[in-house]
Structures are given as C-alpha cells and as structure tokens.
Amino acid sequence: MSYRKKDKFIINGGNKLYGTIKVQTSKNATLPIMSASLLTTESVKINSCPDILDVQNMIKILKKLGAKVERIGDDYVINNSQIDDICLDYNLCKTMRSSIFLLGSILARFKTMSLTMPGGCKIGERPIDIHIDAFKRLGVKVVELDDFIFFNAEHAKANKIKLKIPSVGATENIVQFASTLKGKTTIYNAAREPEVVDLCNFLIKMGANIKGAGTNKITIFGVDRLKGVEYRPIPDRIVLGTLLIATAICGGVIQINNAILNQNEKLIDILLRMGCQINIKNDIITISRETPLKSIKSVSTGYFPDFPTDLQSLMLTLSCIVKGKTQINEKIFENRFLIVDELKKMGAKIQIIDNHTAIVEGVHKLSANKIKALDLRGGASLVLAGLAAEGRTIIENVHFIDRGYCHLESMLASLGADIKRI
C-alpha cells in the first residue's frame, strides 16, 4: 500500500470491539534483520514482513545501495551481492531512526562508512554516542564533522564492551559488527528485548556464533562468513499491546492470534488488576472488558522485561477514562508526553510534573475533536482516544502511525470500530 502524508483518520467513537485478529510481524525485529542481510552475499528471504512505512523505507535504502529486492506476497528476498555504493541516502535515513542499524552491518562488510544523524520520532534526544563509544572500543576510527560521522574499521579488534545503558540499537549494532570480527567480543549490560534475541537467532541461523541473547551479557565469537537463510521474525509485541489496550478502552471481547505471552507480561498484569478478563492458550490471547475499570496507582516504563516505553502513551490514554488518579512515570525518553496537549483538547485531565512524570485524573467521557499525531506511538494512542470519545474525531499526520502499524484503521474496523482513512 502507498501511504500518503496528508491522509487522515475519521473516527466515530463509542463502538465496542468484537472479533478475531492476528498480530503482524514485529517492526522492531524486521528492520535490524533486513540490515543484517548485508552481512552475506547470498540471498536472504524474510517471511511475513509488515506492510508499514518503515519497512518500505528500509527497502528503498537497500535498493539505493544496490541491493536486489524481490517481493513475493508478504515475503522479501534480498540479495546484496552487487552492492558497490555504501553512501546512505540522507533523505531516506532522516525519515527513521532504524537506519542506524545499518552501521554495524555495513562496517562489518565494507570497513568504512559515513553517516548523517538518523531521523525518526521526536520523542527524545536518543544520542548515538553509545554506538560511537562501543565502536571505538572495538578499534573503529571515528571522525565527526558537522552533521556527518565517518567510520573506518580497517584495524578493528574484538574486545569487551560495557554499555552505560542497555541500548537496543547499540546492542544490535555491535552484534552485527562482531559476528564476522575475528576473536571474542563481549557486551556487558546488553539489551534483553525480544527483538535483540530475534536478531541473534537470525544471525545464528546464518552461521554466527552468539551466546547469551536475552541476558545482560552477550558473547560473540567472530566467524569467517555468513550464509543466506529464510527467516520469519517474531510477532509485534507493541501491536499486541495496542490491541489489548484498545479492548480495555472500548470494551468488548477480542481474540488475538500469533501472540507471545512473555513479551507482554507487565501489560497483561496491569490490565488484569484494572478489571479486564484475559485468557491465554498457547499463542492465543482472549481479552474482554464488560465492566468499568479500576485505576492503578502508577505505571513506570523501563528496559525489558519492565513495562515498555512504546506502550506508555497508550496506557496514558487508557488512564484518561478510568475513574481515579494514575501516575505515569517515563524513565526512558524525555519527550514521550507530546500527546498530552492533544488529549486535553478532548477533555482529558493531565498534569505534567516534569519531562518524566504525568498525573492523570480519569474523566467519564472524552469528547471528539480535530487532533494530530506527533509521533508513532502517540499517534496510535490518539486513535484509541478517538474510539472512546463521544462524537466524530479527525486525526491528522497519520503517516507517523503508518511507520509501525500495518493499516491500523483496517485492523480496528475489522473488530467493529467506526474508523476510515481519507
């Protein structure tokens, strides 16, 4: 599907959600796996890729480098054997943060690279100094000049690296780079997110020697070469969380297939305490909400396995319609409360204490209004607010939402929501 920047969502709120739906493949797993395809000259087939803007842009970046990409249904076959230009397209890279994942794979294969500061949602500083420091520890020469950073890995050597925070992007970059770097590289305070584990599993299937994925210590023993493989990334835990919270907000009963419980345990625990009924069997989760919810005292984000920052704004929206006060503590990014002013237009009562704390006092009903998405997850949160609101809500800037959700309006409409794209 071709997403258009001026698209809007029109939502008539008040409908409950009923039906069955399947969770799409993870955006945050697919993108680094696509990047890691650069580590081999053989073809890589990635199954069930989500039809989202970020994936489309990543494919454009790879093609611009010289990759041959074939789409077969929802699968992509990528062959990077003919790449001869490693200059990343500035206009494409500035559209998404995930372009930073290409650093590790390109450096591993071509030894040199220049990079402009990557783009994405404006939810915080998200500096890449953690990436730079890690590469310097591995002997990569780094030169910064204006908005460009130049890397040279000709004399890189395996080493021990301790990350100052368990950065997902830095962990994934090091894992890619070290997979073919001679010697033993160890990452301490490594990210433990399921998407990191999935990348490691993909690389292991390609022939990499990686130990400890899913723990805070990952060890990589460099191998001479990696081979082409076929791989299906994990389901998207944030989309699953969005569907669970949507049902909690709207009421109703939905069955969600292709779900993984241990990726969303914190959220499920919170929703159970609030009064939702949740039944889990294998990879199927059924959630129902038939009675008013109870507020909880506070929700705090953190690195996996803590409550994910990508679901914070959705939990903020849910708190807006639950009787009582809830404190939302954002411990990862400093600009995750961008949607507060938009929610206030709909009658929400939210007090911002500082960049990391918000106090939400639930109201009986939100009121429809004309609002605009300012980032990916905040945009999805506004959609859920529109589903709960009384009247007709118009949401602009939905291209932010299209970065990570595969036709969110169609997903929700299939469950009975009155939502359409114009």
- Dihedral (CA of 31, 37, 38, 39) sign: positive
Whether residue 406 lies in the annotated active site = no
- Please tell me the chain's helix, strand, coil percentages from 3-state DSSP, rounded to the nearest 5: 35, 25, 40
Residue 90: what pLDDT?
Answer: 62
Comparing CA positions, the residue from 93, 134, 108, 131 lying closest to residue 37 is 108
Task: Classify residue 235 by its DSSP letter.
Answer: B
Calpha distance 293→273 (Å, rounded) = 9
Catalytic residue among 93, 121, 200, 320: 121
For the CA atoms of 188, 193, 194, 196, what is the dihedral angle to 10 degrees? -50
Calpha distance 396→379 (Å, rounded) = 9
The contacts of residue 213 (CB under 8 Å, 6+ apart) are 196, 197, 200, 201
Residue 133: what pLDDT?
Answer: 94
In one letter, which amino acid is 145?
Answer: L
High-pLDDT (> 70) share of the chain, %: 93
CB atoms within 10 A of CB 133: 15
Is-contact 226 180, C-beta < 8 A?
yes
Residues of the chain with pLDDT under 50: 119-126
Average pLDDT for the chain: 92
pLDDT digits (tens, 9 = 90+) for 122-138: 434 446 889 999 999 99
Calpha distance 61→63 (Å, rounded) = 5
Please name the residue ranges forming H helices in 339-397. Answer: 340-345, 376-388
Q: Which domains does the chain have, with CATH numbers?
A: 9-21+295-421 (3.65.10.10), 27-231 (3.65.10.10)
Residue 48: what pLDDT?
Answer: 97
- Report how far apart, in Å, the C-alpha atoms of 371 and of each of 160, 243, 378, 379, 394 are: 48, 21, 12, 10, 6
What token pair was written down for 359?
């106090």
Calpha distance 15→10 (Å, rounded) = 14
Residue 127: what pLDDT?
Answer: 64
Residue 2: what pLDDT?
Answer: 63
Q: Give pTM, 2 decimals.
A: 0.94
pLDDT digits (tens, 9 = 90+) for 79-102: 999 987 676 666 666 655 556 778
DSSP states along 353-401: EETTEEEEE--S--B--EEE--SHHHHHHHHHHHHHSBSEEEEE-THHH
Residue 296: what pLDDT?
Answer: 94
Residues pairing with 328 in the sheet? 299, 358
